[in-house]
């Protein structure tokens, strides 16, 4: 009789996973880079003894010797050289993960031309409806500095008139159209009017000392003046809003300001809406395409929801701005 018994199949060997201490891996990389334990300790901001203990713990966990000491410093062994690239990758991945979390926690940095302008109201309204939104406001000289600030990451978003090509790195979303108001003293001939038609401004001089040469807002008002026969006087001095309002209140001068501009209060000035057509100043939200700050997408959505498109039947914009403000934008 034959004995037809089958031999039992061998069971696969189970290798227990090794839990690597990232601090020890970082110490190993530092020693290989610096060659000396003392230099690695200075780089890591710990004691030389702590570096030695971490390396010993790592070698014990892996069951191999990673470093050998020589007269010219520590050198990786054959096993150490084989492990080094993986060790660098582990440290790099950990640093990237930590940086991602830091970026999620950091404040959203927003650039505005002036904290008295309408863009600050948009940011305040967004902050009120967004839980735990941490926002830092910076002021600049508008589009001219915002381009560079967005490109180098010193700000995450900027409010400005986005005239001209922005390049491939920046994207623009229409934010708002702000009606122009005539600002005059109470003794001015137009002061008693509830509103003033644009045609009534023809031949008048509007004193606007803040219209810096080459700025996007100076360009806007110069285009407005050319189309409606209004002279824009940008002569100084420009000593700020308080001085500007006082000068308007004390004489026959007139100026143009935004409807939502937070002007200093003065009993001797009057703001009168300009109509037929309504000149509207275009402001956009600019940001860099590759910026992944978690608050940036909600801010863009908030701006889009509030935006009211350009109405060519009632409002006036320079030709260069109209296409971007008819629809909802990017």
**DSSP-derived secondary structure for 274-292:** EESSEEEEEEEEEEETT--
Q: Report yes or no: 315 and 182 within 8 Å, Cβ to Cβ.
A: no
Q: Residues near 41 by Cβ (< 8 Å), separated by ≥ 6?
A: 47, 48, 50, 51
Q: Between these two residues, 179 and 94, which has the higher pLDDT value?
A: 179
Give the residue range(s) of CATH 3.40.190.290 domains in the chain: 109-326
Q: How far are the Cα atoms of 118, 307, 310 from residue 325, in angstroms, in the given order? A: 17, 9, 5
CA nearest to 162, candidates 152, 150, 148, 147: 147
- Residue span(s) of the chain under CATH 1.10.10.10 come to 22-105
Under CATH, what is the fold of the domain 109-326? D-Maltodextrin-Binding Protein; domain 2 (3.40.190)
Task: Give per-residue pLDDT as tens, 245-255.
Answer: 999 999 889 99
For domain 22-105, which architecture applies? Orthogonal Bundle (1.10)
Give the pLDDT of residue 195: 98
Distance of alpha carbon 210 from its chain centroid, rounded? 25
pTM: 0.69
Q: Is 142 left (phi over 0), alpha (psi -120 to 50) or beta?
A: left
Structure confidence at residue 329 as a pLDDT band (50, 70, 90): very low
- How does pLDDT run across 91-102, given as a tens digit for each residue? 889 888 776 656
Q: Does residue 10 carry a pLDDT above 80? A: no
Q: Which two tokens stand for residue 329?
A: 């934008």
Q: Is the pLDDT of residue 157 over 80?
A: yes
Q: Which residue has the tokens 């990017």?
A: 330
């Amino acid at each position: 009789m034959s004995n037809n018994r089958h031999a039992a199949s061998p069971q696969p060997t189970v290798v227990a996973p090794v839990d690597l201490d990232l601090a020890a891996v970082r110490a190993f990389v530092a020693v290989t880079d610096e060659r000396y334990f003392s230099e690695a300790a200075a780089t890591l901001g710990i004691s030389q003894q702590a570096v030695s203990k971490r390396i010993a713990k790592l070698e014990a966990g892996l069951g191999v010797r990673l470093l050998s000491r020589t007269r010219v410093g520590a050198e990786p062994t054959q096993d150490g050289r084989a492990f080094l690239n993986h060790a660098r990758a582990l440290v790099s991945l950990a640093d990237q993960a930590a940086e991602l979390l830091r970026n999620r926690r950091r404040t959203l940095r927003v650039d505005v031309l002036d904290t008295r302008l309408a863009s600050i109201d948009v940011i305040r309204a967004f902050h009120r409806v967004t839980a735990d939104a941490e926002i830092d406001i910076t002021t600049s000289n508008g589009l001219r500095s915002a381009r560079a600030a967005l490109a180098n990451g010193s700000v995450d978003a900027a409010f400005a008139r986005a005239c001209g090509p922005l390049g491939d790195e920046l994207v623009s979303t229409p934010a708002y159209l702000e009606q122009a108001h005539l600002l005059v003293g109470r003794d001015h001939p137009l002061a008693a009017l509830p509103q003033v038609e644009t045609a009534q401004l023809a031949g008048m001089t509007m004193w606007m000392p803040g219209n810096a040469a080459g700025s996007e807002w100076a360009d806007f008002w110069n285009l407005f003046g050319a189309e409606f026969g209004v002279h824009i006087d940008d002569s100084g001095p420009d000593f700020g809003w308080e001085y500007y309002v006082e000068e308007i209140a004390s004489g026959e001068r007139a100026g143009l300001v935004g409807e939502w501009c937070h002007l200093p209060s003065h009993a001797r000035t009057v703001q009168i809406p300009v109509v037929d057509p309504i000149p509207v100043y275009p402001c956009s939200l600019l940001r860099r395409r590759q910026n992944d700050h978690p608050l940036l997408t909600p801010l863009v959505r908030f701006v889009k929801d509030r935006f009211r498109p350009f109405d060519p039947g009632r409002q006036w914009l320079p030709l260069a701005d109209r296409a971007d403000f008819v629809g909802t934008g990017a």
